Chain A
């Protein structure tokens, strides 16, 4: 993500390194904002009923994680749903994408439907699915599958369709079979694009789970946020939201790690790792 880029390398200047000075500025801006918020609230400029104080959010963290410890159950429920839906959606998306990608006829006839599907807010089907499948986990998972299958689908499709012409010609000149071309060229070539789709899918899966829980209002972190907001327990609602921020960050990092492992040739460390592995596998190559 290019927002991280373009941050200059740290350099020595005076006593503190630039990096340390910047860290201090970051921290003071952050703490300043928090303090400002707290003060405004205490002076009565911000209604604490709607805009909870940082101190009460902190207190709520302690409440929901340790004193009441009720967040764990909901977090667990949501995560299981997200994972199940994500895996289902990925299999569906990648499978369909490959199928459609390899078949020009299907591709042609499916195009209008894909356009329509792309324009429809897929999450909008949530109430319909709940009505059709009833309350409970199955309809939630169906919603998640539906919202997260699209990115892997489109990316697999485009990855499979956009194979480099020259490489295809190379494989033809080597007399490679269709299956070999698929296994040794088309699929590996599509992997980075598919992984990019998977990243989007996991984020979408979390959003899908939240919406499903908003509607069903039984359990899960989404219903917890809804209930807290309804009761105007905004501090706890915010504590849940920040929990999701941390979760989102972990998901982001986790997918990044996975991406680096799977599309190893796109990063230096991955190439080194695989090169060492191959060298060990092949052993002595001297004649």
Chain B
């Protein structure tokens, strides 16, 4: 996808069109069949609204009224802040555990207890503690995004590459240097895998907490529309959650791509070229 190196063929745009076109056609056909099915009454329009209705609802929510944006922003913020807190605690604890054995020994059981408990179950309690506002949503997002990040980071940090470590020792590296220059980079791919899962779960946490009790956010909007049996608007709201999910996932993917560049061939090539350029300029060439 992001192959910067390959020379752009003159027909690239056509080629892209050519690839996407069948998908678009299929999508359009599916929508058409759906629309027909609803109009002819094969599908009950109360339960499954016609695509035209959904598009109308999207138009209203996103363009003419613009109701969605405030809620969108609130849920987005809840998920991101909750994720940041969860990730911060998780990475800190994982690093402590990796560096200090007794810490790992005596803390990890609690992490495991937290893992086997469905984090969602805490929703009512967290709402009682943090109130109906954004606080409780952030807290739930933080709680349920904690574990995947913790376990991935720790797994990454405690995996030992004996050969490489021996190499580091042979050139006289200290423990701190081995940690910084070997173990941390080696843990990064797993850390990012954890962060991606954590981000998704954070969004789930925010939305579920909104279902349970809230005044703002896409979750509230969603349940409100659903219980008014306004399915079209409900689906239009669902779309906003997909958009949040996609934004969060792809921004993490982007970071992963940049930071863990050596795992992707094209990024690896681009990074090595950039490094070569930097070296050349440093050498005064």
Contacts and interface: CB of A to CB of B under 8 A. Distances in A.
**Direct contact between A and B judged by beta carbons closer than 8 A:** yes
Interface of A: 1-7, 22, 25-26, 29, 50, 109, 112, 116, 118-121, 123-128, 130-132, 203, 206-207, 210-211, 214-215, 221-222, 225-226, 228-230, 232, 234, 237-238, 240-242, 244-245, 248-249, 251-252
27 contacts: A2-B158, A2-B159, A3-B112, A3-B155, A119-B245, A119-B246, A120-B238, A121-B203, A121-B207, A121-B241, A121-B245, A127-B227, A128-B235, A131-B227, A131-B234, A210-B123, A214-B208, A214-B212, A221-B121, A226-B123, A229-B127, A234-B128, A237-B125, A244-B118, A248-B116, A248-B118, A252-B116
A124 B125 contact: no
B172 interface: no
Interface in B68-103: none
Contact of B124 (A22, A132, A207, A225): A225
Contact of B120 (A6, A25, A211): A211
B154 A3 contact: yes
B124 A214 contact: yes
B226 interface: yes
Given A109-B22, A127-B226, A128-B226, A225 B121 contact: yes
Contact of A226 (B108, B112, B154, B212): B212
A155 to B, nearest CB: 14
B124 A112 contact: no
Contacts of A237: 124-125, 128
A126 B211 contact: yes
Given A120-B245, A124-B241, A131-B227, 16 more contacts: A3-B104, A29-B106, A116-B246, A120-B242, A121-B241, A125-B238, A126-B211, A127-B222, A215-B223, A226-B123, A229-B125, A237-B125, A240-B121, A241-B121, A248-B118, A249-B116
B252 to A, nearest CB: 11
Contacts of B223: 127, 215
A120 B244 CA distance: 8
B31 to A, nearest CB: 13
Interface residues of B, number: 54
Interface of B: 22-23, 26, 47-48, 104-106, 108-109, 111-113, 115-125, 127-129, 151, 154-155, 158-159, 200, 203-204, 207-208, 211-212, 219, 222-223, 226-227, 229, 231, 234-235, 238, 241-242, 245-246, 249
Contact of A210 (B23, B111, B121, B231): B121
Contacts of B105: 7, 22
B154 A128 contact: no
The interface residues of chain A, by DSSP majority, are classed as helix
Given A22-B105, A131-B227, A124 B222 contact: yes
Contact of B106 (A25, A126, A207, A230): A25
Given A3-B154, A125-B238, A210 B118 contact: yes
Nearest to B239: A120
Given A6-B158, A109-B23, A214 B108 contact: no
